[in-house]
Amino acid sequence: MKFLLYFLKLVRKNILSRAVIILVGVVVFLLFILEFSKYSSSVNKARYTKKRPDEDLEQYLIFVGGIPRSGTTLMRKMLESHPDIRCGPETHVIPWLLKDHYEWTTSTKEFVRLVEAGVAPHALDNAMAKFILSIIVHHGPPAKYLCNKDPYSLQATTYLHGLFPNSKFILMLRDGRASAHSVISKGITVGNWNIKSYRDVLMHWNDEINNMYKECLTSGPKVCLPVHYEKLVLQPVATTKKIFNFLGIPWCKEVLHHEDHANETKLSAYELSTDQVKKPLYLEGLTKWFGKIPPDVERDMAFIAPMLKILGYNPEERRPKYGEPDDFVLKKLNI
């Protein structure tokens, strides 16, 4: 302050030339900018540098998801038949929370507010991870491996993998025509789907499985495994061995007899597949949709649901053959 007063006194007495005054002013301005940059950088670094996650957030988790009526409950029950795995019923809370997070972070206005408050991204991510983990851990008995089956959670596979980097994801795939028929015939409410219209349901199916499939592929084959429902019920031995190899968990024959373990795990009365998974593997679900889809929808199928072809289904084939049952299924069903 004394230096500044002395400097102003010299200026009034015209002792310093105008050029020197300008030079000094430039130097002072540059020093101010430099100090402000250092301060801003330190604040941002403290606020946004990602801290090492808590050890409990690095634990191994299994996430199972897919479009409703695509075999997610069957997959969950087969996993849970393994003595070291516990999944439990759908939580419903986790996909709702992930949807809220998506809305917060994709709204520029809201995200800027969260960033300015020091909440986003890392404080929010840490809170999300701990909340999700707490739900998974505490809504069932302890087990060596924990899994979560909330079908729509896999719309956020890449985000969940960021929260839980050691986790694995199983995306259930099923012929969209079979899923659509199951939804419509059972009157299952799914979001804003018009469950009186095959066209509308198939268009929603296409959009949502497209997103989930992209999320799975983006995460990579070591993180996310697509599993076709048809292969799971027709060739369960080879398919489950592939799944457990992906998970890095020893396979055991108990997973082929999920119906024998129905009383050992909690089944929710609010999940419409509960009654079906109490039974052995059955093949009727593969063909129940045959002849049920309106002719105009069948005619436009390739346009309505282009994901069918991408996932390996023929949209032009009205009675597709999904493959031959393996010896285990033939013996189980006395075929």
What is the per-residue pLDDT across 135-183, written as a single tens digit (0 to 9) for each?
A: 999 999 999 999 999 999 999 999 999 999 999 999 999 999 999 999 9
| Whether 258 and 300 share a structural domain | yes
**Which residue in 135, 146, 139, 101 sits closest to 119, CA to CA?**
101
Gap between the Cα atoms of 151 and 190, Å rounded: 11
Shared domain check, 147 and 16? no
Report the CATH number at residue 219: 3.40.50.300
Query: Are residues 59 and 44 both part of a single domain?
Result: no
Query: Token pair for residue 105?
Result: 């972070």
Contact 63, 157 (CB under 8 A): yes
Q: Which of 90, 208, 215, 230 is catalytic?
A: 90
The pLDDT tens digits for 35-89 are 545 434 433 443 333 444 455 667 899 999 999 999 999 999 999 999 999 999 9
* C-alpha–C-alpha distance, residues 13 and 6, integer Å: 11
Count of the separate structural domains present in the chain: 2
Q: What is the domain range of residue 37?
A: 2-48
**Residues above pLDDT 70, as percent of the chain:** 77
**Whether residue 276 is found in the same domain as residue 230:** yes
Tell whether 11 and 152 lie within a shared domain.
no
Q: 269 pLDDT exceeds 60?
A: no
Asked whether residue 15 falls in the same domain as residue 119, the answer is: no
SS3 285: helix
Q: Are residues 43 and 134 in the same domain?
A: no
Confirm whether pTM is higher than 0.85: no
Q: Known catalytic residue: 90?
A: yes
Using pLDDT thresholds of 50, 70 and 90, give the confidence band for residue 118: confident
**14 and 102 fall within a common domain:** no
Mean pLDDT, range 186-207, rounded to an integer: 94
CA–CA gap between residue 200 and residue 118 (Å, rounded): 42
When mean pLDDT is compared across 18-22, 178-182, 226-230, 291-295, the lowest value belongs to 18-22
| 42 and 146 fall within a common domain | no
Do 36 and 99 lie in one domain? The reply is no
Q: What is the pLDDT of residues 92-110, one digit of tens each?
A: 999 999 999 998 888 888 8
Q: Which of 90-99, 107-116, 184-193, 323-332 has the lowest mean pLDDT?
A: 107-116
